[in-house]
Structure 1
Amino acid sequence: MGRTCVKTAGDIMNLQAQMEALLNELKALETDLDETLQQLLVKSSGHIELSKKLGEMELIAEFLKEYGRGEDAVRVKNLIRALRQRVYESIGLVVFQVQKSTLKAVEALNDAGNGLLMIGKFGAFLKNLQELERTIQE
């Protein structure tokens, strides 16, 4: 009976350790998902802002098309100026998004380079390990 209790206790401890590992993995997945969602929200907010600018430009252009001839020259010039401003703002938004994407790409390349260096270090470690094995066998 004593062995059964010890074995059962060991099984319970093993099960608890496995459950703890599963919970930790779930927490890590949740963290990764939260980070991905945050990145998507930031990215989509830039797209939403750009879409808004395009909508404003469309409205101004449509107004100029329909009513531009009947309006006074000052008002038409102001509308054209507003349209030009929206175009420059849109260019600025796209440039900012390109900068962020470029920065992420550079960071990814840096991470890849670090990973390759780590692989090289593991390779050197394996060489040293093989030399140690040869030394021990001799």
Structure 2
Amino acid sequence: MQKDNWYCDRILWKAKQHNLFDKRCCKFSDLSVEQVRAIEAVISVEIKPVIVFWESQNKWTVLGAKSVCSFYDGELVLCDLDSIDKQVNLLHPSGIDREDVKSKSEFIIVGSEGKNIWAPSGSELFALMNILQMFPLNEKCSA
């Protein structure tokens, strides 16, 4: 099995475990034509999109078999999955009480470069954290 296919399978498996498709997440293949166009207008690299967290054309995150891409505040943040190195943390927003962070935070910090990735607050955010903490997966296949 090729690495991209293996990563795609693992992402979908974890997403199903977290019941993400019952929430504000969907498979890339299930997006509307307008949503796909909005994403493709911003992403210029091949990421092999798998799942999408969608709020609007101005705020979304795509998790692909190669990278995670998050678009918010007019900027695209891209992080290669293998560079995450299991470094995934919750961003503590200023002005939020410590006990409210888990329910109000919409960003996680990934990789050694500390890139901010958006997801809807609550269970979707923590599911994405859990999925991203898998990467890089142990090499069991050819690239």
Query: TM-score with structure 2 length normalisation?
Result: 0.22
More strand by percentage: 2
Q: If each structure's helix is expressed as a fraction of its own residues, which one has the higher value?
A: 1
